[in-house]
A and B are shown apart, each in its own frame.
Chain A
Amino acid sequence: KQEVTQIPAALSVPEGENLVLNCSFTDSAIYNLQWFRQDPGKGLTSLLLIQSSQREQTSGRLNASLDKSSGRSTLYIAASQPGDSATYLCAPCSNFGNEKLTFGTGTRLTIIP
């Protein structure tokens, strides 16, 4: 059974800093891994999807890496802004077709203006 751990559980940093969020998963037999953002009381927004054959994916100030063999992924946020404040969730997928994502408990990020 896939288990996903995200460290740290919460993080507060001043605006403008670069930061790294960590995700580890126990079953390396995955098809892809997605990073999501969740704002309070809202749904989840997919930020990046890394296929199992890829090592990283970039979108704007976000860069996600994947080391499938060691069961790790990181989300790097450059030049953080107050609008980046949210909970970030990591979710590896063990089935083709995006079935059955397993979510971590998330990292609650606060960017201090």
Chain B
Amino acid sequence: EPEVTQTPSHQVTQMGQEVILRCVPISNHLYFYWYRQILGQKVEFLVSFYNNEISEKSEIFDDQFSVERPDGSNFTLKIRSTKLEDSAMYFCASSGVTDLDNEKLFFGSGTQLSVL
């Protein structure tokens, strides 16, 4: 069964450093997302990406964050200068095989980011 893969599974970084979280969505999907979950809290929407551009973003997704689909398979989340409060599990997700779809989201197993 096709799945969303995320690397690395764990990332430790120093405050102020840049990190790039990587995701390979399901190959024929059209919509891509990043969500995050701070320990003990709800899963929160960060950003959605469709047709090579951001289609929606939350208040969390400020200028420190960016997303990119550098080729036909990868989808990345970059945090330019990490803060302690960026520590969380970051989930990538994908969905939709047609423009009119409103389908289940498929999530990766997450990258646990720890900012020291």
Interface residues of A (CB under 8 A from B): 31-32, 34, 36, 42-46, 49, 51, 89, 91, 93, 95-106
Contact = CB atoms under 8 A, between A and B. Distances in A.
Contacts of B4: 43
B48 interface: yes
A79 to B, nearest CB: 24
Given A42-B110, A44-B43, A44-B107, A99 B55 contact: yes
Contacts of A99: 31, 33, 45, 48, 55-56
Interface of B: 4, 31, 33, 35, 41-45, 48, 50, 55-56, 58, 91, 93, 95-96, 101-110
Contacts of A44: 43, 91, 93, 105, 107
Given A100-B48, A103-B43, A46 B104 contact: yes
A43 B109 contact: yes
B42 A43 contact: no
A73 to B, nearest CB: 15
Nearest to A31: B102
Contact of B50 (A34, A45, A97): A97
